[in-house]
Amino acid sequence: MNNKTKATWMLAAALSLMLAACGNERAAEPPAPTESPKPAETPKPTESPKQTDSKKPVESKKPTESSGDSSVVPAPPVTSANSESAKDAKTEKEKEAKAKETKETKETKTTKDKPNMSEPADKQSQPSVATGAVSGNGKAGASGPKNPAAAVTDGKTKEPPATGTGDRKALSWYYMKKPKGQVPNFPAETKSFTKDMKALWVGTGKKVYLTIDTGGPLGDIDTLVKSLKDNKVKANFFIAGYNVKKNPDFIRTLVADGHLIANHTMTHTDMNTQTDEQVRKEIEDYAKLYKDVTGKDIQPYFRFPYGRYNTHLLKMVSDMGYTSVFWSTAMRDWEPRKNGAEDPYNDIMNNLHDGNIILMHQGSPENIQALDKIIKAVKKAGYEFALLSDIEPPK
């Protein structure tokens, strides 16, 4: 082998070795990671309707606005604390409470500073016991208990039954609708009313008694007065005492136009929450206020705020000379009406019946807007509008 050939062979061998080494190095490297395919996306489960919490009652659908069915029609709810009427009543009560507290503080101070010289010294430090004695003229003596319902047995004051039991069981007026033209059914407790529980809830004959309650806002006074005057209709008003104070000219206008205004208490409070003394004061203060504003005596009719009462109070109010007035037609007019003025119109016309005592709230804009149309339709149906004083008492 010559030198040239030898050199060529050696070069070829070197190249072979280099190539072999390079191949071994590549085989030792891990293959580049290939991106694994993404797992198929699990479809989101279809959202099933929420289960009703077994602890919470399922909200029932609100009754329809129509009065053509035979559903129960409850009394209006007690006014919320944020309402205008509640604020007025609260202010009135706060003033009375403050005045009473001031008076009692002064009397207590005077009593402490001045000993009672009419009793022996050894008895002056002993608290006196209310006797609740009744004098010969049949009136309670000045030393009687502050709660007129309390009685005295063997020198000890006997408290009245707990509120909510017996004749003090809280009741709320309602009626059950019947087909158009028929007088509704009324609460079962009316059958237990005695002769000394004077009350009205329906009249007789082709007469309608429009009773307008104003325990809340006074509303559109001008339209109300005009609608009644233009149609030559007399209505019956139950206006809370704080509204009488707020607009005495409105009261005088109603009296001048021949409307009947009756007692609706000073503060428009649920009377089941008050003592007998408080109830009497509410009614007596109203009668005095009415006399001061109009120069006339109040008509002997009364309406319990919210239609909330008990048979004990019913008798007590009767003993004060009043007849309590409930109703045979009412509306959900303490809240906005879905169909505007058409709702109060339909409510009344679909429940029109002989002796109908209609409860309408003055603060409802829809009521006032519909009033003229209602009056004309009721008259066209052959009914006459009348005052409560036209109802003949049962014989």
At a CB cut-off of 8 Å and minimum separation 6, what does 136 contact? none
**CB neighbourhood size of 200 (10 A):** 20
Q: Which pLDDT score is estimated for 75?
A: 75
DSSP annotation string for 305-337: GGGEE-HHHHHHHHHTT-EEE--SB---TTS--
Residues of the chain with pLDDT under 50: 20-70, 80-84, 109-161
Which amino acid type is present at position 356? Answer: N
Q: How far apart are CA 337 and CA 81, in angstroms?
A: 22
Give the global pTM.
0.66
Q: Which pLDDT score is estimated for 164?
A: 74
- 300-321 burial: b if 16+ Cβ within 10 Å, else e: ebbbbbbbbbbbbbbbbbbeee
Q: Which pLDDT score is estimated for 242?
A: 97
* pLDDT tens readout for residues 223-278: 999 999 999 999 999 999 999 999 999 999 999 999 999 999 999 999 999 999 99
Is the Cβ–Cβ distance between 83 and 75 less than 8 Å?
Answer: no
Q: Which pLDDT score is estimated for 76?
A: 77
Q: The domain at 182-389 falls in which architecture?
A: Alpha-Beta Barrel (3.20)
Q: Tokens for 43, please give them.
A: 């479809």
Is the Cβ–Cβ distance between 313 and 304 less than 8 Å?
Answer: yes
Q: Which pLDDT score is estimated for 87?
A: 56
Cα separations in angstroms, 362 against 38, 130, 269, 274: 71, 45, 18, 26
Q: How far apart are CA 372 and CA 376, in angstroms?
A: 6
Please provide residue 164's backbone torsions phi and psi, each rounded to the nearest 5 degrees.
100, 0
User: What is the domain partition of the chain in residue ranges?
Assistant: 182-389
Q: How far apart are CA 205 and CA 211, in angstroms?
A: 17
